[in-house]
Structure 1
């Protein structure tokens, strides 16, 4: 399909009368998926802006992968609507998917083939791929994910991290408008994680919208421009990462040679979740109406020698805990 035909097709979404035209690269309205009595995704309203690196966050079992499978047309929603690249899914799967690279639930590889031959096989299944430049595309994708040296090795001999890289290379065989990655750093060591972060930033700079599902909050916070948080199938919040973090109050940090006395005063004033070390106290400050200057005065008035006092910037983990009252694995 040539570019003009693609744009004409996108403009004709064949939506029900009165439906609002989608504005995001991904957009859902009341999207739900039920398996028997289990509601895996519950009326999800999601908007992924064009050009963003969008972190789709939540603990394992929160409904992230089920949502992605609906977005990619792999399963039918029970109710609600989903649009990808301006087209309704799964009805427009054949039109949309050639413009989407995806790595979902780990790569499906031919173990008896080499890494390069796996990519050649994937590329040959793409009707839009030019066979004359197939090997060059495969080699470029292998180089981009750091697998050139292992290109001739059979995939069954790859480590989990190498298989993950090869799946990502398959998603990058062609230029994509949208890249959908489900837990892309599974099995990667810290160096591999850094390389994936760098690659995601490069792709975004080139104009690809990246939709990145993960339960690793710290990883996502370093690379994403926007994020959404899910738990138990429901969307809790979404928006620019900086705005989400700004909406949560950070932890109070007091540096002092009198940590025991400082902790006592802070607790009396309503602080909670106190952590005391040799020269520092961190805690959840009192309610939003409390003045931090009053806490400082109380500490000084009690004879506590205050050497440092302030709020640490809230993280995405702080946002999640503040909204749900629970945490999830941020270390992998």
Structure 2
């Protein structure tokens, strides 16, 4: 594959992707103790008055795996596009790696790997040649190590065996893997991933989760947008929740999950009788699913042993009784007042 042949073809398929390449001859970004991402009052209003992001104050600690959560239309992707300099904010400020964006894009982007809204690929090229072309477009990349770095990136995302296959024949999950490989062609201080497990099977999702952990252990800060709350809870150290363009909460994932009230769970072949007795004792939020009954966790003043005794005394055959800890999903629903939809 030659550059001339590639340039004669149409633009790559896909919506938007940033892979760390930037025009010009950027100066190196100096390491600081500041957060890797920080926004203050970041706002984006589109024509017609649509307010997509409203006064966002976001802080992403260095070295974290940061989950960015929100229901459909919450402003997550718009925020990411502003952080990467793809669109300008209406007002407010954004700093990435301690430098203002989009003004410092030429300095910052070579230190950032990103996969945004799906990978942009040349369908007529195979996987390896797509990565070679991405690397040639990066003025800071060393051509002497290009092929070795491409092979390493393909292996890391599990595409080494399919690297000779044309990208247009790739499945959605394979395209996601190739886009992630493009973001990993060089060591990055920051990796920004928008729905990286989109289209992947459960095994592929586990592999990406493991890769994210490896990258974090190597010192890369990972900013991860996802609609899969379970994935965020398993892999992320910190998270932020967006709703209707505004930041609802941010902080360590363990703290966010712990802030959610747990649920009292009872497994019994007598769910109707159990629900009646719990309701008589003032419990709310009762829900049944077969032989499993759940309710809002009782106040601290209520003795769980007394509740259990009341159930048994009422003839309920109790197979399981206990309070389950709150999850990130519980916290999300409590904070936003809505279920979790696909990413927006």
TM-score normalised by length of structure 1 = 0.90
Secondary structure at the aligned position of 1:185 is classed as coil
Secondary structure at the aligned position of 1:328 is classed as coil
The answer for the alignment partner of 2:43 in structure 1 is 32
Contact 1:155 1:163 in 2 (8 A): yes
Contact 2:136 2:143 in 1 (8 A): yes
* Residue range with higher mean Cα deviation, 97-106 or 315-324: 315-324
Residues 1:256 and 2:268 aligned together: yes
Cα distance in structure 2, aligned partners of 1:240 and 1:216: 17
- How does 1:238-277 map onto structure 2 within 5 Å? 238-268=250-280, 269-277=282-290
The answer for the alignment partner of 1:72 in structure 2 is 84
Higher relative contact order (CA 8 A, sep 6+): 2
Secondary structure at the aligned position of 1:6 is classed as coil
Secondary structure at the aligned position of 2:325 is classed as coil
- How does 1:95-114 map onto structure 2 within 5 Å? 95-114=107-126
Deviation, 1:304, is 3.4
Residues 1:61 and 2:61 aligned together: no
Aligned with 1:316 (options 311, 328, 335) = 328
Cα distance in structure 2, aligned partners of 1:182 and 1:292: 45
The 1:277/1:123 distance shift into structure 2, 3 A limit, reads: same
Cα distance in structure 2, aligned partners of 1:312 and 1:168: 36
- State the Cα deviation string for residues 103-135 of structure 1 (Å, max 9, x = none): 000011111111111101100111111111111
The answer for the alignment partner of 1:160 in structure 2 is 172
Cα distance in structure 2, aligned partners of 1:162 and 1:308: 43
Cα distance in structure 2, aligned partners of 1:259 and 1:126: 63
Residues 1:205 and 2:205 aligned together: no
Aligned with 1:132 (options 144, 147, 150) = 144
Secondary structure at the aligned position of 1:272 is classed as coil
TM-score normalised by length of structure 2 = 0.87
Cα distance in structure 2, aligned partners of 1:99 and 1:149: 28
Residues 1:6 and 2:29 aligned together: yes
Cα distance in structure 1, aligned partners of 2:342 and 2:167: 30
* Residue range with higher mean Cα deviation, 257-266 or 186-195: 257-266
Contact 1:216 1:329 in 2 (8 A): no
- How does 1:42-57 map onto structure 2 within 5 Å? 42-57=54-69
Structure 2 runs not aligned, ≥5 long: 1-23
Cα distance in structure 1, aligned partners of 2:165 and 2:182: 16
Deviation, 1:292, is 4.4
Residues 1:118 and 2:121 aligned together: no
The answer for the alignment partner of 2:196 in structure 1 is 184
Aligned residue pair count: 317
Secondary structure at the aligned position of 1:108 is classed as coil
Structure 1 runs not aligned, ≥5 long: 12-21
Cα distance in structure 2, aligned partners of 1:273 and 1:180: 40
- State the Cα deviation string for residues 216-271 of structure 1 (Å, max 9, x = none): 11111111111111111111111111100100111111233432211111123232
